[in-house]
Structure 1
Amino acid sequence: MDNNLHKYNIKHILIAVVIWEVIFWALLGSFYYYIADKEVLRFENQFFLWGLVIIPLLVMGYFVVLQWKNKTLSQLAPNKLLRYLTTPVSEVKSFFKFFLLRNGLALLIIALANPQYGKSKNKMVAEGIEILIALDISNSMHAMDLDPSRDRLTVAKMSIDRLLHNLHGDKIGILVFAGDAFLQVPLTQDYRAVRMFLQSITPEMMTNQGTSISLAIDKCIENFDMENGVNKAIIVMSDGEDHEGEAEEKAAAAKELGIIVSTVGMGTTNETPIPEYKNGKVIGLKKDYAGNTVFTKLNEDMLRGIANAGGGRYTKAEGNFVNMEELLETIKRLEKTEMESDLYSDFEDQYHWFLALGLILLIGEFFITESRSGVVHKLQDYEI
């Protein structure tokens, strides 16, 4: 008998695990990207998907345990004696046992996020306009100069939530930006979905920091369908610390296309430090490369200039409240157009499928041993 059969061939197992990890994350990423544009599918508790970070940790822990087992066997006895002291192990069964455990946990996490399917599809015709909110999520939006208990971004999100209560038949979407920009919520009349995605927005979503309002306006224009004849508006919510410039020119260009650009100032004109976060906790104040504390303040002149160039209005946050009445009046003066859209008014929970399959996999893992036996034993003796 080959004495190596009493130890784990970590190289072979590693190849199998890496192949599966690539397949799993590619499938999950493709599915998530697909449902981002589909109102028929959604996760009710999207926050729980962050629990999937456990999976890479589990993979690393698995290989640490395998190495520890091999090291322990080497210390137990010389290879020639292992055949008399231990049972041969099957790397195929070891991988399959881990496969069931890893995927069972992944399915339980997905079940916690509660995938939902829209089962009731109705056509809805309403008069409205299209509004894209460009929300600044740069690090400076962590500043707490508006409210001692809330940062600028939290106040902005609360204001957007209140804005949703005053919209009827209008389509709204959210684009987040810092040094880069991307569409977080496509234009929709499903305000409940907008609120759900709104809660998950944080500055940590953007790896490329800085503030480029010009890029945000450009991206908003790209995400409008300029051929549908519906009037359009952009609302930029920012502290106005634009690091790229050209924002007024982009707002003027949007106005020429018939898109009104309004701005909301998030912050005060007094310099204030920016909290530094790690793992969701404040660990100090943000500093530059020289070790000096970084300060931020509202640039009202910049935001007023953008609103003037875009034919819209400028309004400013006061405390934890943003009075958007005048801004809304500007938007409401736009001629509303009849829009037909699919509305999924009733969503059905699908978590039970993932929960059941996850439990089946975990129970199956419990009954599988790693000892070599039967067909698996014979298959493993062949070298491919």
Structure 2
Amino acid sequence: MFRFQEPAYLYLLLLLPILAILFFYSIYKRRKAIKEFGDPDLIADLMPTVSAFRPSFKFWVLFACIGFFSILLARPQFGTKLETVEKQGIEVMIALDISNSMLAQDVSPSRLAKSKLLISKLVDELHNDKVGLILFAGDAFTQLPITNDFVSAKMFLSSISPNLIERQGTSIGKAVDLATRSFTSQEGVGRTIILITDGEDHEPGALEAVKRAVDAGIQVNVMGVGSPDGAPIPVTERNGSEYRKDNEGNVVVTKLNEEMAQEIAKAGNGLYVRVDNTNAAQKAITSEINKLTKTNIESKVYKEYDEQFNVIAWVIFLLLITELLIINKRNPLFKNLNKLFK
């Protein structure tokens, strides 16, 4: 991939045709003056040290320098560059519940939509940290391995829906175990799992998984999404007029299991906060994870474009040296070489 960072400087290249025209016009005027003075061949014999080639060669060298200098100012960039950087940070794994109950709209616009917006804002606060994303319902899978590529982290959010997992339910234990295994092997780094769920219809094993995470030095925070009073579950994410019903034809109402969420947060030495229609939950979690120990985290950073100015700078330098070394007149000490410049 190639581009110019400052393409406006390329307009300087428009000077080149003007310079070329002026140069050829000066040659025309000089030859015309010589013809008016006398026979050109006779005049050439009277001036043996005058070279017709050298001034033209010096001009075209400077002409090329101006062109390359215009390109240099435009900052040509090409390819990619991989850098290893160290920053003070922590590692955060976000586990998001995408079960059907997360489509309930007791939090505006829905539990799932609010959660995705919440994650986006959380990622914005993780400047020098690493973040990963796990999605779970009856099963759990890694949507994004732990990384400092926050652009990718936010990009994946738009495609998240309950359809990504066929088996429904709320297997918090599987999500926590997967998150625990997803951190890097670097020692001394503050680590936390942020569990975003409504806790509805959860499967057993959650507290045991949280204890295993704590034993590994990982804090577990919980963000409860929804309301204890509950709300019906829309049939689809974009349809709020038809709701899911049980086998008896009754509308299913999903409620936030706040008691379970608080137990998990307590067992995980973390914070429980309920998500509402304000930013209070996001601020509370951000404040909590900022308490974790930050240490040097090595990250591989891809720079999409690598500067190529050094190559052009060397070309300009060599051209200028060449121009300086060539004199306008022939050197009588090098008669054999002079023949090459006649």
Class of the TM-score when normalised by the shorter of the 2 chains: 0.5 to 0.7
CA contact (8 A) 2:121 2:282 kept: no
* Deviation readout 1:130-151 (Å, 9 max, x if unpaired): 100000000000000012xx11
Residues 145 and 347 (structure 1 numbering): CA distance in 2 closer, same or farther, change over 3 Å?
A: farther
CA distance in 2, matches of 1:152, 1:322: 16
Shift of 1:281: 4.4
Shift of 1:287: 1.4
Match of 1:83 in 2: none
Match of 2:232 in 1: 273
* Deviation readout 1:354-381 (Å, 9 max, x if unpaired): xxxxxxxxxxxxxxxxxxxxxxxxxxxx
Match of 1:223 in 2: 182
Residues 135 and 209 (structure 1 numbering): CA distance in 2 closer, same or farther, change over 3 Å?
A: same
Match of 1:325 in 2: 283
Shift of 1:118: 7.5
CA distance in 1, matches of 2:79, 2:235: 40
Match of 2:297 in 1: 339
* Deviation readout 1:163-210 (Å, 9 max, x if unpaired): 112112100011000000000011111111111011111111111111
Match of 2:162 in 1: 203
Matches within 5 A, 1:180-259: 180-226=139-185, 228-259=187-218
Matches within 5 A, 1:277-296: 277=236, 281=239, 284-296=242-254
CA distance in 1, matches of 2:290, 2:271: 12
Which runs of structure 1 show a deviation greater than 4 angstroms over 4 or more consecutive aligned residues?
Answer: 280-283
Matches within 5 A, 1:121-140: 121-140=82-101
* Deviation readout 1:49-76 (Å, 9 max, x if unpaired): xxxxxxxxxxxxxxxxxxxxxxxxxxxx
Matching residue's letter, 2:120: D
* Deviation readout 1:250-277 (Å, 9 max, x if unpaired): 2122111100000001001112110002
Match of 2:337 in 1: none
CA distance in 2, matches of 1:299, 1:169: 33
* Deviation readout 1:310-351 (Å, 9 max, x if unpaired): 000011111254522232222222211211111123279xxx
Residues 285 and 347 (structure 1 numbering): CA distance in 2 closer, same or farther, change over 3 Å?
A: farther
Match of 1:177 in 2: 136
SS at match of 2:289: helix
Matching residue's letter, 1:290: E
Name structure 1 gaps, 5 residues minimum: 1-116, 349-384
Shift of 1:223: 1.3
Matches within 5 A, 1:289-328: 289-319=247-277, 321-328=279-286
The one of 93, 117, 129 aligned to 1:158:
117
CA distance in 1, matches of 2:208, 2:161: 28
Task: State the identity as a percent.
Answer: 41
TM-score (norm 1): 0.56
SS at match of 2:271: strand
CA distance in 1, matches of 2:161, 2:100: 9
Matching residue's letter, 2:88: E
Match of 2:103 in 1: 142
CA distance in 1, matches of 2:96, 2:305: 28
302-311 or 314-323: bigger deviation: 314-323
Matching residue's letter, 1:246: G
Q: How many equivalent pairs are there?
A: 229
Match of 2:81 in 1: 120
Name structure 2 gaps, 5 residues minimum: 1-77, 307-342
CA contact (8 A) 1:272 1:296 kept: yes
Matching residue's letter, 1:302: M
Matching residue's letter, 2:275: A
CA distance in 1, matches of 2:249, 2:201: 23
SS at match of 2:80: strand
CA distance in 1, matches of 2:212, 2:280: 27
Alpha carbon RMSD of aligned pairs, Å?
2.1
CA contact (8 A) 2:223 2:281 kept: no
Match of 2:46 in 1: none
- Give the structure with higher Rg (CA): 2
Shift of 1:284: 1.3
